[in-house]
Amino acid sequence: MIASVLRLELRRSRSLLGWLALTSILYTGFITFYYPIIKQNQATLDAMLKLWPKEMQAAFSIMGNLTDVGTFFNVYVFLMIWPIVAAIGGILMATRAVAADLDRGFLELPLATRISRPAYLATSIAGQAIGMGLLVAATIATILVSGLVIGESWDTGRFLLAGCVILAFGWAIEAVTTLLAVATLSRGRAGGVMAGILVGMYLLQTLARIDPHLDALSYLSAFHYLDTGPLVNAGVFPAEGLTVLGAAAIGGWLASVWAFRRRDLLA
Partner 1 sequence: MRDECRGYRAEGPCCRPAGGLSLSRRRRAVGAPRIVPGQRASPRDRLRSGAGTVIGMPNVIETTALTRSYGSRRGILDVEFSIAEGEVFGFLGPNGAGKTTTIRLLAGAIRPTSGSARIFGLDTWARAPQVHHFMAYLPSDPGYLGELTAAEQLDYLATLRGLARGAWRPVAERLELDPTVQVRRLSRGNRQKVAVVQVFMGQEPLLVMDEPTSGLDPLMQREFLGLVAEARGAGRTVFLSSHNLPEVERSCDRVAVIREGRVVDISPVQALLGEHWRSVNLVLAAPAPPGTFDLPNVRVLADGTRDAHLMVMGDVNPLLRRIAGLEVRDIAIATPDIEDVFMRFYGAGAPADRPAVEAAP
Min dist CB 203 to partner 1, Å, is: 36
Instruction: Give the nearer residue to partner 1 in terms of CB position, either 80 or 111.
Output: 111
The CB-of-183 to partner 1 minimum distance in angstroms stands at 15
> Is the Cβ of residue 71 or residue 128 nearer to partner 1 in the bound state?
128
Closer CB to partner 1, 107 or 165, in the complex: 107
Q: Which ranges of the chain does DSSP label H, i.e. alpha helix? A: 2-40, 42-51, 54-59, 69-73, 82-95, 101-104, 108-111, 117-149, 156-184, 187-210, 222-225, 229-234, 239-261
Distance CA 96, CA 231 (A): 34
188 vs 122: CA distance, rounded Å = 22
Q: Which is nearer to partner 1, 7 or 54 (CB)?
A: 7
Q: Kindly tell me which of 51 and 267 has the beta carbon lying closer to partner 1.
A: 267
Instruction: Please identify, using beta-carbon distances, which residue of 1 and 148 lies nearer to partner 1.
Output: 1
Q: How far is CA 171 from CA 3, 124, 163, in A?
A: 21, 13, 12
CA atoms lying within 13 Å on the CB side of residue 164: 16
Cβ–Cβ under 8 Å, residues 138 and 23: no
Tell me how far, at minimum, the Cβ of 106 lies from partner 1, in Å: 5
Minimum distance from residue 246 beta carbon to partner 1 (Å): 30
Q: Which is nearer to partner 1, 115 or 137 (CB)?
A: 115
Tell me which residues touch partner 1 (CB under 8 A): 1, 4-5, 8, 12, 101, 104-106, 108-117, 262, 264-266
Q: What residue type is 242 in one-letter code?
A: L
Of the candidates 171, 211, 169, 177, the one whose C-alpha atom is nearest the C-alpha of residue 83 is 169
Report in angstroms the alpha-carbon separations of 195 from 53, 189, 200, 250: 27, 10, 9, 20
Within 10 A of 4 (CB to CB), how many other CB atoms are there?
11
Minimum CB separation of residue 16 from partner 1 in Å reads 12
Output the smallest distance, CB 181 to partner 1, in A. 16
CA distance 208 to 20: 30
